[in-house]
Structure 1
Amino acid sequence: MNVSVIIPALNEEQTVATVVRACLADNPVEVLVIDADSTDATAIRAREAGARVVNWREVMPGVTPRPGKGESLWRGVAAARGDVVCFIDADLTSATPGMVNALSAPFAEPRVQLVKATYPRTLSGKPTGGGRVTELSAKPLIREFFPHLMFIDQPLGGEYALRRSAARQLPFVDGYGVDIALLIDCAETFGVDSLAQVGLPARVHRNRPLHQLAPMAHTVARTILWRAGVLRTKPGAHREPLDRVG
Structure 2
Amino acid sequence: MRPDVRRWLHHRTFTADTWRAADLVAAKRARGSTVSVVLPALDEERTVGAIVAAIRGTLVEACPLVDEVVVIDSGSSDRTAEVAAAAGARVVSADAVLPRYGCRPGKGEALWKSLHATSGDLLVFVDSDLIAFDPGFVVGLLGPLLTDPGIGYVKALYDRPLTTTDGIVPSGGGRVTELLARPLLNAFWPELAGFVQPLSGEYAGRRELLEQVPFVSGYGVELGLLVDLVALTGLDALAQVDLGTRQHSHQADAALGRMAGQILQTALARRPGGAEPDRELLQFLRTADGLEGVSWDVGVVERPPMRSVRDAERRPGRRS
Q: Normalising by structure 2, what TM-score? A: 0.75
1:71-90 correspondence to structure 2 within 5 Å: 71-90=109-128
Counterpart contact for 1:115–1:160, Cα < 8 Å: yes
Q: Unaligned stretches of 5+ in structure 2?
A: 1-32, 61-65, 278-298, 311-320
- How big is the shift at 1:230? 6.2
Alignment-mate amino acid for residue 110 of structure 1: P
Which of residues 150, 153, 158 in structure 2 aligns to 1:114?
153
Tell me whether 186-195 or 227-236 shows the greater mean CA deviation: 227-236
Cα distance in 1 for partners of 2:271, 2:205 equals: 22
SS in 2 for 1:208: coil
Partner of 2:70: 32
Q: Unaligned stretches of 5+ in structure 1?
A: none
1:34-183 correspondence to structure 2 within 5 Å: 34-107=72-145, 108-124=147-163, 125-183=168-226
Cα distance in 1 for partners of 2:59, 2:239 equals: 20
- How big is the shift at 1:76? 0.5
- How big is the shift at 1:224? 1.6
Q: What is the total number of aligned residue pairs between the two structures? A: 246
Counterpart contact for 1:113–1:186, Cα < 8 Å: no
The percent of aligned pairs where both chains have the same amino acid is: 45
Alignment-mate amino acid for residue 229 of structure 2: C
Tell me whether 148-157 or 235-244 shows the greater mean CA deviation: 235-244
Counterpart contact for 1:23–1:99, Cα < 8 Å: no
Alignment-mate amino acid for residue 270 of structure 2: R
Cα distance in 2 for partners of 1:155, 1:17 equals: 26
Counterpart contact for 1:222–1:231, Cα < 8 Å: no
Alignment-mate amino acid for residue 46 of structure 1: A
Counterpart check, 1:200 vs 2:243 = yes
Cα distance in 2 for partners of 1:35, 1:83 equals: 22
Counterpart check, 1:242 vs 2:306 = yes
Cα distance in 2 for partners of 1:183, 1:32 equals: 23
Counterpart contact for 2:265–2:300, Cα < 8 Å: no
SS in 2 for 1:65: coil
Cα distance in 1 for partners of 2:71, 2:240 equals: 24
Partner of 1:12: 44
Cα distance in 2 for partners of 1:8, 1:135 equals: 24
Cα distance in 1 for partners of 2:300, 2:248 equals: 26
Cα distance in 1 for partners of 2:190, 2:173 equals: 22
Cα distance in 1 for partners of 2:138, 2:112 equals: 19
Counterpart check, 1:23 vs 2:61 = no
Alignment-mate amino acid for residue 124 of structure 2: C
Cα distance in 2 for partners of 1:36, 1:104 equals: 26
Cα distance in 1 for partners of 2:228, 2:195 equals: 14
Partner of 2:25: none
Large movers: runs of 4+ above 3 Å: none
- How big is the shift at 1:170? 0.8
Instruction: Evaluate the alpha carbon distance shift between residue 230 and residue 88 of structure 1 in structure 2; reply closer, same or farther with a 3 A threshold.
Output: farther
Instruction: Evaluate the alpha carbon distance shift between residue 90 and residue 231 of structure 1 in structure 2; reply closer, same or farther with a 3 A threshold.
Output: farther
Which of residues 172, 176, 187 in structure 1 aligns to 2:230?
187
Cα distance in 1 for partners of 2:143, 2:51 equals: 19
